[in-house]
């Protein structure tokens, strides 16, 4: 699970021999902490799940998107500014990992795609590529999620 520091007054966090830097007073947000333990339960005043915090803010999960400054014009190999046609969005595989839809037959029935990245799975709508699962799934949870999504869709 991924966690982020809640506020600027949080100090550093040490886990498994690694030091995760807390937020700085100059606006730095601090490191994203990866832990198999639920740090938001163990240290509720210090951590919140990174994915849930981003969802509340209405954003996309930032650890899946490359950190590209908005005000920088991309350059070609020759050092010239790229035109809008030359600047492309990151591919789905670079954002969500390998397309493993073929391993989940139910995905085809609900017109969805399944991607795996670092043993975590994301289910996308096949038409608009919107994320269907609220949080990342483990392999064992993908098929039950797809079946539940199919049942919910049939009820509507």
How confident is the prediction for the chain on average, in pLDDT?
75
pLDDT in tens, 23-72: 776 666 777 888 888 887 887 778 788 765 555 554 444 444 444 444 45
- Tell the burial category of 76 from Cβ atoms under 10 Å away from its Cβ (0-12, 13-18, 19+): exposed
Domain identity same for 139 and 100: yes
Domain identity same for 53 and 103: no
Domain identity same for 7 and 50: yes
Q: What is the DSSP letter of 113?
A: E
Domain identity same for 104 and 146: yes
- Please indicate, yes or no, if residue 77 is contained in any of the structural domains: no
Arithmetic mean of pLDDT, 10-19: 78
pLDDT in tens, 103-115: 998 998 889 999 9
- Please indicate, yes or no, if residue 72 is contained in any of the structural domains: no
Domain end point (choices 43, 63, 83): 63
- Please indicate, yes or no, if residue 73 is contained in any of the structural domains: no
CB 94 within 8 A of CB 66: yes
Question: What DSSP assignment string belongs to 36-87?
Answer: SS-HHHHSTTTEEEHHHHHHHTT---GGGS----TTPPPB-TTSPBPPTTT-
Domain identity same for 8 and 59: yes
- Please indicate, yes or no, if residue 34 is contained in any of the structural domains: yes
Secondary structure (3-state) at 9? coil
Arithmetic mean of pLDDT, 130-156: 86
Domains in the chain, number: 2
In the predicted structure, residue 141 carries a pLDDT above the cut 70: yes
Domain end point (choices 20, 48, 63): 63
- Please indicate, yes or no, if residue 118 is contained in any of the structural domains: yes
Structure confidence at residue 145 (pLDDT): 92
Structure confidence at residue 12 (pLDDT): 80
Structure confidence at residue 1 (pLDDT): 77
d(CA 126, CA 115): 12
Instruction: Tell me which of 145 and 76 has the higher pLDDT.
Output: 145
- Please indicate, yes or no, if residue 134 is contained in any of the structural domains: yes
Domain containing 35: what range? 2-63
- Please indicate, yes or no, if residue 146 is contained in any of the structural domains: yes
Structure tokens at 34: 């990866």
Residue 54 φ then ψ, to 5°: -70, -35
């Amino acid at each position: 699970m991924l966690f982020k520091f809640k506020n600027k007054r949080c100090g550093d966090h040490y886990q498994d021999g690694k030091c995760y830097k807390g937020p700085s007073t100059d606006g730095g947000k601090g490191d994203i902490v990866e832990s198999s333990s639920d740090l938001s339960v163990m240290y509720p005043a210090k951590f919140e799940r990174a994915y849930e915090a981003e969802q509340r803010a209405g954003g996309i999960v930032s650890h899946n998107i490359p950190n590209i400054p908005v005000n920088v014009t991309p350059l070609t190999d020759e050092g010239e500014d790229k035109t809008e046609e030359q600047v492309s969005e990151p591919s789905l595989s670079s954002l969500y990992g390998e397309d493993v839809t073929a391993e989940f037959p139910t995905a085809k029935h609900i017109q969805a795609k399944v991607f795996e990245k670092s043993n975590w799975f994301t289910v996308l709508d096949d038409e608009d590529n919107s994320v269907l699962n609220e949080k990342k799934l483990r392999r064992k949870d993908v098929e039950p999620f797809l079946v539940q999504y199919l049942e919910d869709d049939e009820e509507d």
